[in-house]
Structure 1
Amino acid sequence: MPDPSPASGGETPPRPSRASLRTSVVWEVLQEALDRRVKAAGTDRLDVLDTGGGTGNFAVPLAGLGHRVTVVDPSPNALFALERRAAEAGVADRVRGVQGDVSGLFDVVDRAGYDAVLCHGVLEYVDDPADGLRKAVEALRPGGALSLLAAGLGGAVIARALAGHFGEARQALGDPDGRWGAGDPVPRRFTADQLTGLVTGAGAEVSAVHGVRVFADLVPGVLVDTEPGALEALLKLEAAAAELAAFHSVATQLHVLGEKRA
């Protein structure tokens, strides 16, 4: 997520971090969606479910905005780190960690109990992406917001090709799961059409699709770290390209914003 707003009193704004390249587009879109949901629900505090939320990269900042966030994650170590992180941020009373996964989601949370559900980096790893996403949508209240983030096929193909692994790039193109070989650490990748099809099939309407990390993974790190203003300019470029369909096919990740049908 982007760094906090500049402090008052004329202080110099903090420089964006490298981590913001990975989250800025998603964070901005998510905040806007939650703001709309706040107005529609007539409340300033939403119930948010973060499936696979790990150590709270999104959950803790969302709690900092005043929302109640439940994180479901299979890793007890991640949930322990989440608890510590929430306490350090002063939001422990608004963050709850529960051990589980999206496949058995309703063993640990209620159906139709949330105003927003985050499903970030989950569909790549579940046995049945359609079933997992359907459960995520079922956890939403009518009109609730779905934030889906998953690995994009095109970004992986380009990355392998630029690294000189042309056979692996071609393998990923033809593989049903978008894998470049047995050593590929990601079990599954998606195209934008595949993700939007999963969202509509799960009972939600697609509101927007964004490409994430269109350029960030291709630009040499030394350039971003040493060239004055390069990081800020790259963030602006990522934001400008995110909504353009022409760049969805080359993004490292794809973000789909959806809304549960009433």
Structure 2
Amino acid sequence: MSDPSPVFGGETPSRPRGSLRTAVVWEVLKDALERRGKAAGTDVLDVLDTGGGTGNFAVPVARLGHRVTVVDPSPNALFALERRADEAGVADRVHGVQGDIHGLFDVVERAGFDAVLCHGVLEYVDDPADGVRTVSDALRPAGALSLLAAGLGGAVLARALAGHFTEARQALTDPAGRWGEGDPVPRRFTAEQLTDLVGDAGLRVGAVHGVRVFADLVPGGLVDTQPGALEALLRLETAAAELPAFHAVATQLHVLGEKRP
């Protein structure tokens, strides 16, 4: 998830404010990797991060002891990834490759990974179903897929709360969930759409979480100035993430899939 690119933008789990955006995904991912490692009888997994950019998730995953391959189209992002991995002392466990999901198996091995991260990618591919099938094909049997994509409901709510009611209605009715020509996100999803994509790719659908249910709606100054507010908001995000009622208003949706043995 590359910082300079709007396509694969994100926050590192280690930043205090960034934790509001990534805490739920990070905890689910760590648990999934631990379960996968126990099932495979190893402490070191092969992990693929598609669109992983500067390593916001790849470097922390490597810190857990895993080998991570990052595929990203941006040479600048991959250069930053190399620098970040070196500074974190995990350069020997992080490998960056220039490419994208369309030609994934031109640069990585099919069925070569215990886990695949596909974060902030489906919004930008021409065919999301084909994209999910591709990352599924990169998994070994019983491998885990971490899928993160923009949520429709969160965009509708955000536009409405900003007073842009026409744009909110446009996003609600648009097939791609876009609020207008100036919308920087080409496509958004509902939880049902994402779980259908994962299931149709032959994966078993595991946990579904709403991400950034409240974080994008709470004024930053409120979190920064009130003692304990960040920790309380993190706990609230975690508690709401698993409740289906809040999936409909989350800025992002996270789906965990598992390839059948």
The question of a shared fold, defined as TM-score above 0.5 by the shorter chain, is answered with yes
Separation in 2, partners of 1:76, 1:54 = 9
Aligned to 2:181: 182
Q: Aligned with 2:123: secondary structure?
A: coil
Contact 2:13 2:57 in 1 (8 A): no
1:236 is aligned to 2:235: yes
How high is the sequence identity, in percent, across the aligned residues? 82
Aligned to 2:106: 107
Contact 2:150 2:187 in 1 (8 A): yes
1:124 is aligned to 2:131: no
Counterparts of 1:200-215 in structure 2 under 5 Å?
200-215=199-214
Separation in 1, partners of 2:101, 2:216 = 28
Q: Give, as a single letter, the amino acid of the residue that structure 1 aligns with 2:48.
A: L
Separation in 2, partners of 1:255, 1:181 = 25
C-alpha offsets along residues 198-233 of structure 1, whole Å, 9 cap, x if unaligned? 001111110110000000001111100001110000
Q: Give, as a single letter, the amino acid of the residue that structure 1 aligns with 2:137.
A: E
Separation in 2, partners of 1:161, 1:133 = 31
Separation in 2, partners of 1:159, 1:2 = 24
Aligned to 2:42: 43
Counterparts of 1:75-224 in structure 2 under 5 Å?
75-224=74-223
Q: Which runs of 5+ in 2 are unaligned?
A: 1-11
Aligned to 1:19: 18
TM-score, normalised by the number of residues in structure 1 = 0.94
Contact 2:223 2:229 in 1 (8 A): yes
Separation in 2, partners of 1:73, 1:52 = 5
C-alpha offsets along residues 28-50 of structure 1, whole Å, 9 cap, x if unaligned? 00000000001000000000000
Separation in 1, partners of 2:40, 2:260 = 15
Contact 2:153 2:190 in 1 (8 A): yes
Contact 2:13 2:56 in 1 (8 A): no
Aligned to 2:245: 246
Contact 2:71 2:98 in 1 (8 A): yes
Q: CA deviation at 1:142?
A: 0.5
Q: Give, as a single letter, the amino acid of the residue that structure 2 aligns with 1:212.
A: V
Separation in 2, partners of 1:103, 1:191 = 23
| Higher alpha-carbon Rg | 1
Separation in 2, partners of 1:123, 1:200 = 15
Q: Which runs of 5+ in 1 are unaligned?
A: 4-15
Q: CA deviation at 1:2?
A: 4.9
Aligned to 1:11: none
Runs of 4+ in 1 over 3 A off after TM superposition: none
Q: Give, as a single letter, the amino acid of the residue that structure 2 aligns with 1:185.
A: P
Coordinate RMSD, CA, aligned: 0.8
TM-score, normalised by the number of residues in structure 2 = 0.95
Separation in 1, partners of 2:118, 2:237 = 21
C-alpha offsets along residues 125-158 of structure 1, whole Å, 9 cap, x if unaligned? 0111111110101000000000000000000000
Aligned to 1:60: 59
Separation in 1, partners of 2:101, 2:207 = 23
Separation in 1, partners of 2:87, 2:33 = 24
